[in-house]
Amino acid sequence: MSIKNKYIILLIIIVLAIALIYLFNINKKPIDQGQNQNTTPSENGKNISIRDKMINSFYDNYELGKTLKVGDREFRVISYGAGEGNRMEEPKSSGGIIAFEREKEKWEIFWESSEFFSESFPDIEIRDLTNDKIDEMILKNTSLSGRNLGLAVYTWRNGKFEIVTRTREVITSIGKYVSLDLGGDVDKTKIEDIDGDNIYEIIIGYKWQEMSGAPVEEYQQIYKYDGDKYYLWKEEKIGEEKSEY
């Protein structure tokens, strides 16, 4: 074989290798596709937020929403969970609540929550907690582990829904935002009328261990409604168990 033919064959091999590399790269998915915080891949390959996905699901099936009535106004309420990622640094991955209002024969978005929460399995309960004949929205956030339950209560006030449970301001490297700040052990956190006045209290139960080997102490915080907000009324120790460690 002549030197010229060897060069031609080598050139063909190089061209084929470059073509194969090119085809491999254009068919390869981006590393973060479908893992972009609060997004999932849509059918056309573009990311769609969990929020928008839930809105689309609601318009496909109105029964997904929980019904809440204020006078002659009717709302449907849905919730959605947070996305994956560095949740405390990126509040865009927060879950949320959306209230749709019926306008004649259509449902339109009337209100959305603005507080940050990172749990992935939120649920909405509708009932009157404050004995004013108007139902509240109760957001229940179960953690991924299933051990913790976060609570938030929204009530109808001044023509909109307002949160009446505790929040806190969080400051991060990308700014600040308001986060939900009420929750405890899933089996010890509940809403009950403990004094029989038809106004429900929020009971937050949790365990505390001072250090490894120390007894595990059980506490509960009781929050009462004062006509404006839920406030911490009492915190008490309710039990103690021997540490396993």
Domains of the chain by residue range:
1-30, 31-241
Q: Is the pLDDT of residue 242 over 70?
A: no
pLDDT top residue among 28 and 1:
1
- Alpha carbon distance 165, 176 (integer Å): 19
- Residue 241 pLDDT grade (very low, low, confident, very high; cuts 50, 70, 90): low
Find the range with the poorest average confidence among 9-18, 102-111, 127-136: 9-18
Average pLDDT of every residue of the chain: 80
Under 8 Å between Cβ of 155 and 161 = yes
Question: What confidence score (pLDDT) does residue 204 get?
Answer: 96
The torsion angle over the Cα atoms of residues 108, 64, 97 and 165, rounded to 10 degrees, is 120
Query: pLDDT tens, 4-19?
Result: 566 666 667 776 766 6
Query: pLDDT tens, 18-68?
Result: 666 555 443 333 322 222 234 444 455 456 788 888 999 999 998 888 999
Question: What confidence score (pLDDT) does residue 104 get?
Answer: 83
